Structure 1
Amino acid sequence: MTSKDERLAFLEEMKDVRRIRKPNRAEVSTPRELTPGHLERQKAAVEKPVRDLNPLTSDMVEPLTAHDVLSWMRPGIQHGVFRKLRLGQYPIEARLDLHRMTVEEARREVFAFINDCVRYGLRSVIILHGKGERNPDGIAQLKSYLAKWLPELDSVLAFHSAQKHHGGTGAVYVMVRKSDRDKQNNRELHGRR
């Protein structure tokens, strides 16, 4: 058979074929009636509120201004260690920038950031919260909340407003507690002499 004969044979076989006029798409309309499973899941979602594991409060806080200095340490922190933190003499191992975040976004980010620092063994970090100088009332909102939140986290040992070259009163150095794994490693390293 030649190619001309093949073509004619093909056309003969295809003479009754008609073009499909419907679009080549699956119908994905949602069913109109809800199944018992749908109703049960809806009921469970409404009755059982999602539990927020974040301990940071979102209540009102004492308002701070752009130039207020943040300074806090847990009892038992050595003064020399706190002085070194205050002077920015520890290497900054991570940073979190809260600029342009809402209070709720910042609340979630701070909680996750400090937990990540503990998990990865980061001890000296910085959080950039801004000074709030553009606010017409002069209140540094995120800074005010951060001053309340950091002591609420057991993993935070101390914090102090940063040195000028790291953001001054628009940023805060944070000293983070060692993870249990790092504490155990220290005991094993130094405890068996």
Structure 2
Amino acid sequence: MQTVLYIRVSTTEQTSEHQLKQAQGAGFKVDEVVADVGVSGVTTVLAERPQGKRLFDMLRRGDTLVVRWVDRLGRNYADVTDTIREFMRRGVTIKTVINGLVFDGATADPMQAAVRDALIAFMAATAQAQAEATREAQKAGIAHAKDREAAYRGRKPSYSREQLEAVRDLLAQGASVSAIAKETGLSRQSIYRIQENPAESEAALARWAA
């Protein structure tokens, strides 16, 4: 039996090392890391990614697949739910670093299975909703940045693209500002600003080409 960490990073600002450190910090002993770099979770399903397709070949009954959160598997509802259920049918357990969720096909109790499936559906729907919200915020931020760019760039953001996405993910999951600050290394003030004005947060990164 092996524990495999799957990593997906879609931008140059994100790093595989960060997700590996998160997993190790959460207590996971990873036997192998499989990473897709520069791949969108919205437009490319897991089975069509260069490294994502390896998971379907290498994972066996009794193995554990670890991901930072379900959005690393994908940002499309159907893709994420189908992927998790396929791995469960194969006897693979899926665990998330954030929130410590566990999905497996071990239970034979119909009520427990129903609760598990409902949670999978909720997590997959949340991942897609976050992707859509991020896309709209990016559009608004870019448009806002273009309007103001001729005047001034303003103060350089105190956060990176990866930190901004992490803050959004954690806020959507209901994490407290204090917990997010500890997780991302940002100040509470920065997190409040991102929470109160996501479009301006995107605009600041766009102005500084971050």
Normalising by the smaller structure, the TM-score range is: under 0.3
Q: TM-score, normalised by structure 1?
A: 0.22
Larger radius of gyration: 1
Query: Does 1 or 2 have the higher relative contact order (CA < 8 Å, sep 6+)?
Result: 1
Q: TM-score, normalised by structure 2?
A: 0.21
**Larger proportion of helix:** 2
